[in-house]
Amino acid sequence: MKVSLLAVLGFICSLLLIRAVYAGAADEKITFPNDENGNVLRELQKKNVDFSAPHKIQFFSVFRTEEMADIVAKEYLKDNFPNEKIGVIETRPAQKGGMELELVVKMLLTHENITGFETRLAERVSKQDGYLDGWGVLVKP
């Protein structure tokens, strides 16, 4: 099989162009809305967190009683959303009193994903007279 020098050079140029495009995309800063979640995401961006890979994001809510927390926990046990891979559903006594529910969801770290999950969680939590108590993500230093 004979390969022309021109074909080889064309292939090499294509690879270099693709590499340059991906390198440029990695260097671009993502812009986030000016809200609480956007502020946290900007701080994570300053720490060079990889936004292209899924992360285990912890969502916390607090209820007056264990029964109320368990109702919401059981709702999430029944769910099966393909974009929301819930790995941990745990209740424990909250530091401020009452019961804390922790949900750990593996998803891309985007403003849309976090805000969307928080919105759906808030709907369920409010029906049990609870409140959201923030979210977090463990990142490697």
Domain 33-137: what homologous superfamily?
A: RraB-like (3.30.70.970)
Q: Report the pLDDT value the prediction gives residue 44, as an integer from 0 to 100.
A: 95
Q: pLDDT tens across 60-115, in order?
A: 999 999 999 999 999 988 886 666 788 899 999 999 899 999 999 999 999 999 99
Lowest mean pLDDT among 26-30, 85-89, 134-138: 26-30
Q: How far apart, in Å, are the Cα atoms of 108 and each of 35, 42, 50, 125?
A: 19, 15, 9, 23
Give the separation between CA 37 and CA 134, rounded to whole angstroms. Answer: 9
The Cα angle at residue 95 between residues 89 and 101, in degrees rounded to 5:
15
Average pLDDT of the residues of the chain: 82
Position 23 pLDDT exceeds 60? no
